[in-house]
Amino acid sequence: MSEVLEVENLSVSFRQDGAQTQAVRGVSFTVERGETVALVGESGSGKSVTALSTVSLLPDSAEVTGSVKYAGQEMVGAPAARLRKVRGNEISFVFQEPMTSLNPLHTLEKQIGESLALHQGLVGAPARARIIELLERVGIADAERRIKAYPHQLSGGQRQRVMIAMALANNPDLLVADEPTTALDVTIQAQILELLAKLKREEGMSLLFITHDLGIVRRIADRVCVMQGGEIVEQGPTETIFRAPAHAYTRKLLAAEPAGRPEPVARAADEVVSTDALRVWFPIQRGFLRRTVGHVKAVNAASLTVHAGETLGVVGESGSGKTTLAMAMMRLLASQGPIIFEGRNIQGLGTRELRGLRRHMQIVFQDPFGSLSPRMTAEQIIAEGLGVHGVAKGQNPRQLVAQMMAEVGLDPAMMPRYPHEFSGGQRQRIAIARAMILRPRLLVLDEPTSALDMTVQVQIVDLLRALQRRYGLAYLFISHDLRVVRALAHKVMVMKDGDVVEAGAAEEIFDAPRTDYTRGLMAAAFDMKAVGAA
């Protein structure tokens, strides 16, 4: 086999305001024809920078040394004309975010046609035929009609398929896929992975796959390069790495899977919250008089009960109404149907009455970057609830904040820092501390681990479990990640398009799912296999 891509001793550093940051240090690896190589590592390990530097797509502030050879030609310092010929033609890219990598003002025909016209000079009817062919290859149904569609008319998975079609347009030798499935639901992720594997087989391309998810690597890659802090700490065939990881970091990554099971709940635990056929319908209003012509049924008749010390996992794909349900239960969104919190119906309570109850029900959001005010210190953020609900006599708020920080595993000395000075995991700890300082009885966790690296996810899951044990907290845990749910939840509720498809004890649902939808979700999450047309 011949080498398509040879990277030797590649180093990349960024210069900003006189400071030099080393992103990649002396990385060497090769990609052979028809081979899939995976670059694995956590955020900030230099995976994406390595991939982008193969065709010099880095900003001007980057300094690249070392050698990148594509088919024997040196790419580092190559003239712009040659790079342009290679880019999108011989080496193609698929990026992470399908929302922003397509131009919202262009139809699919125009987006794909651009690259065809540029590299192959294909225009008019032949280009059109080729575009339809490409769309069919990536599994877009009814491609003839879809060709006139705009990106916003497609779902996330379809958009990613279009991105792949664009990348395939010029029959590249090497496809670089930078976290192509991270923003997608598990079932869609499984489909895209299958598509990539199939296309690779049929076209005989090489694939450089960048991901943080070892499950994907195991399924798709022939060889793995594990990156940490800008260096490749270990590389080798997938089998070997998974069977006998040599480097400590690889072992840590492999071990980083939310493990363990939730603590059993006491039999006589009090009921903390329950709903009966809760629904959230958004009216669709039309015409001059804004008559209600129909409803978007975001949540349809959701009934649930959570006891003290118990975790209810709510799972489902994006758009299934999980977050809307959480917001409605926190009374942050208007809804219909009773919400019984500690024996009292809080549906219809006024803002003032609710304010007193808020200290007992708290929420932690998904995005640890967006949920902390950038202009407040960690101390101010955590102490905010104390300001609203007051502090018991003889207690010093600063002391309470320090204790809370220690409890969630943060050094109290970091109190005067601002959110941007913390890592993602630390920010999520701050968000948990902000909610926990009021000693709530119900904590709603809206995808608290989704934006975090695997090893950090494990830490947060452990922290949540420890807090639950200590304070007998009731959790409403919302996630699309079934592995995390399995590690935390006593009960599971599966949602689809606003409906509760299945609900019951966690073991029952994980061991013997009753509906096809749940089975598809499980297969996609645990085996990365697409089942049926999920």
Partner 1 sequence: MEQTVPASSRAEVPDPADAAPPPLPPRGRFGIRLSPLNRRRWRNFTRNRRAFWSLIVFGVLFGLSLFAELLANDKPLLIQYQGEYYTPIINFYPETAFGGDFQTEAVYRDPVVRCLVRTGGAELCLFEPETALQEAEASGTVEGEPIEPGWMIWPPIPYSYNTINNIDGAAPSPPDANHWLGTDDTARDVVARVTYGFRLSVAFAIVVTVLTSLIGIAAGAVQGFFGGLIDLFFQRVIELWGATPQLYIIIIVAAMFQMNFWLLVFLMTLFGWTALVGVVRAEFLRARNFEYVRAARALGVSNAKIMFRHVLPNAMVATLTMLPFIVTGTIGSLAALDFLGFGLPSSAPSLGELTLQAKQNLQAPWLGFTAFFAFAIMLSLLVFIFEGVRDAFDPRKTFQ
Residues in contact with partner 1 by the rule CB under 8 A: 17, 42, 44, 330, 332, 354-356, 358-359, 361-363, 365-367, 370-377, 379, 384-385, 387-389, 398-399, 401-407, 409-418, 420, 423, 425-426, 429, 431, 434, 438, 453, 455-456, 458-459, 462-463, 466-467, 470
Choice between 106 and 360, CB closer to partner 1: 360
Choice between 44 and 337, CB closer to partner 1: 44
Residue 81: how many other CB atoms lie within 10 Å: 7
434 close to 384: Cβ distance less than 8 angstroms = yes
For the bound state, the minimum distance from the C-beta of residue 210 to partner 1, rounded and expressed in Å, comes to 18
Q: Which of 143, 141, 86, 142 is nearest to 112 (CA)?
A: 143
Choice between 127 and 476, CB closer to partner 1: 476
Residue 450: how many other CB atoms lie within 10 Å: 16
For the bound state, the minimum distance from the C-beta of residue 429 to partner 1, rounded and expressed in Å, comes to 8
User: How many angstroms separate the Cα of 7 from the Cα of each of 22, 99, 201, 340, 436?
Assistant: 17, 31, 23, 61, 48
For the bound state, the minimum distance from the C-beta of residue 14 to partner 1, rounded and expressed in Å, comes to 14
Q: In Å, how far from its chain's centre is CA 311?
A: 22
Choice between 60 and 511, CB closer to partner 1: 60
299 close to 305: Cβ distance less than 8 angstroms = no
Using CA atoms, how far apart are residues 181 and 196, in angstroms rounded to an integer?
Answer: 11
In angstroms, the first-to-last Cα distance of the chain is: 38
For the bound state, the minimum distance from the C-beta of residue 346 to partner 1, rounded and expressed in Å, comes to 13
Using CA atoms, how far apart are residues 153 and 240, in angstroms rounded to an integer?
Answer: 43
Choice between 222 and 263, CB closer to partner 1: 263
For the bound state, the minimum distance from the C-beta of residue 370 to partner 1, rounded and expressed in Å, comes to 4
324: phi then psi, degrees, rounded to nearest 5: -60, -40
Choice between 327 and 506, CB closer to partner 1: 327
Give the DSSP letter string of 126-170: HHHHHHHHHHHHTT-TTHHHHTT--GGGS-HHHHHHHHHHHHHTT
For the bound state, the minimum distance from the C-beta of residue 451 to partner 1, rounded and expressed in Å, comes to 11
Choice between 132 and 361, CB closer to partner 1: 361
- Please list, in sequence order, all residues whose beta carbon lies within 8 angstroms of the beta carbon of residue 278, skipping any fewer than 6 positions away: 299, 301, 302, 303, 325, 328, 329, 335, 336, 337, 338, 339
520 close to 482: Cβ distance less than 8 angstroms = no
Residue 154: how many other CB atoms lie within 10 Å: 18
Choice between 82 and 398, CB closer to partner 1: 398
Amino acid residing at 190 = A
For the bound state, the minimum distance from the C-beta of residue 171 to partner 1, rounded and expressed in Å, comes to 40
Choice between 243 and 375, CB closer to partner 1: 375
Local structure of residue 211 (DSSP, 8 states): E
57 close to 68: Cβ distance less than 8 angstroms = no
Helices of type H across 371-524:
378-389, 397-407, 424-436, 454-471, 482-488, 506-511, 516-522
474 close to 462: Cβ distance less than 8 angstroms = no
Residue 373: how many other CB atoms lie within 10 Å: 12
Choice between 15 and 198, CB closer to partner 1: 15
Strands 231-237 and 271-286: unpaired
Choice between 463 and 484, CB closer to partner 1: 463
Q: How many CA atoms lie within 13 A of 389 on its CB side?
A: 22
For the bound state, the minimum distance from the C-beta of residue 24 to partner 1, rounded and expressed in Å, comes to 17
For the bound state, the minimum distance from the C-beta of residue 251 to partner 1, rounded and expressed in Å, comes to 14
For the bound state, the minimum distance from the C-beta of residue 352 to partner 1, rounded and expressed in Å, comes to 10
Choice between 70 and 341, CB closer to partner 1: 341
143 close to 107: Cβ distance less than 8 angstroms = no
